Structure 1
């Protein structure tokens, strides 16, 4: 997800809304702002479910559960977000093929890449990712097949583990959880639908295209942080790229990589689709998250006689804050 701050996504949403109707005068509204307390510590429980359906084959489903500790410390105008104590569910680990088991065990020993964010909630940069990069490189390099193509595979691996690619992935996670909703000056009416047109880099094709994002604050609900009962909100959002722009970008890439497959591409790409949906429970006056459900649905058409496939990846995270951690 691209950066969707109030100056961007929410600012666009309010502009579009004002063009169609006057702003509601509802008393039930909220303002979202980023104000994490320094020293914030959370025990984070994550469950990731991936379902893949390929034409002519039975669905394949995998589940991974893991936990880690997140710490946030403010220094001047920046926060350092650090992670430690990554633990994997042994049941889920046992169900994985041996190569993946080995990889996941290496991950538990790696220093998860922390990052820096500004006092306004903007992602700034990764914080010393070298340990994570080296652990991943050591784990993945032996899995590459030997042969004349291994040098190219190692180069591709280095690119995949490069700071630019890792930063984009981490930034996306942060923006969905916090960054997209930070810096608000406008009040958001509960139950009101907002729509915004934005620009973002689509996964897989690495090109900037237009997105349409819908979001709304659905309700208020109680939440707990360090033994105190606070008021949270539930926010729901969904975004998908402009269909025509996405298909044009993919067709251009296919024409470069496989010119023989370019003919008839328009019909083949008719089912291409990317959709991301979010359900987030967070504190409106700090954006300290308590629960998130992020669902990514990708539908890829078959090329050159290959079957089409549909993949749904759902990640649910819960954040528990305890006094004295």
Structure 2
């Protein structure tokens, strides 16, 4: 077997298909090249390794992936130790844009005092992507909204409770959620997360309890983008109120007190490394500070 072919198959299996592999392989390679080399690997083995559509590993593919996965997962840590002549602190983190932009820099500045050689891999991710990254061992720690139940193997700690709000622009005079609902919802564009995300689900459930329906007109995966589109006059945004955050000019919050606040937490998998453990402690401390000043 060709080691490069095995590496390509590892990325295909890990990212759910050839296109996912092409997007995540850390060097330039095109889809036809991956397809042809995977085909050669299957020919060498005399086995089909996965079903293309919908993607799923065959029994032979599962057996091969379970064998090669620990080797390729361990490549980066080994390379870091070799380059540095010893252990190099490394942290892979995922969270929403707002956290990455407004809160992570301060946390990482504190981490670097303790770990001067700290290397970071940061990903902009929504709730479902954070959990997936942890389960696939692609990240070490993530911050996101907490579900009532979390996937087995993932640990969590609460950080903040965030009230659910609607964001409106200058064209809206309504002061309350009840007043807004008196308007024809179909005439207003709702800007929100994808339907599978917790914030969207809770909002949809509340509307259903009122026998109302408000379809999403613009779907975005970032609170920051939702606010920007509201500021640009594209519609009404579904969001949360974050302590210490100010809104863009012309954007106003309308609280929805009938929906319980959503809990933001920090997630990780065990065993927990020293850097990840330090980040969790710092994040908890910052959350307490934000709560005290709000």
What's the TM-score once normalised by structure 2's chain length? 0.22
In terms of fraction of residues, the more strand-rich structure is: 1
In terms of fraction of residues, the more helix-rich structure is: 2
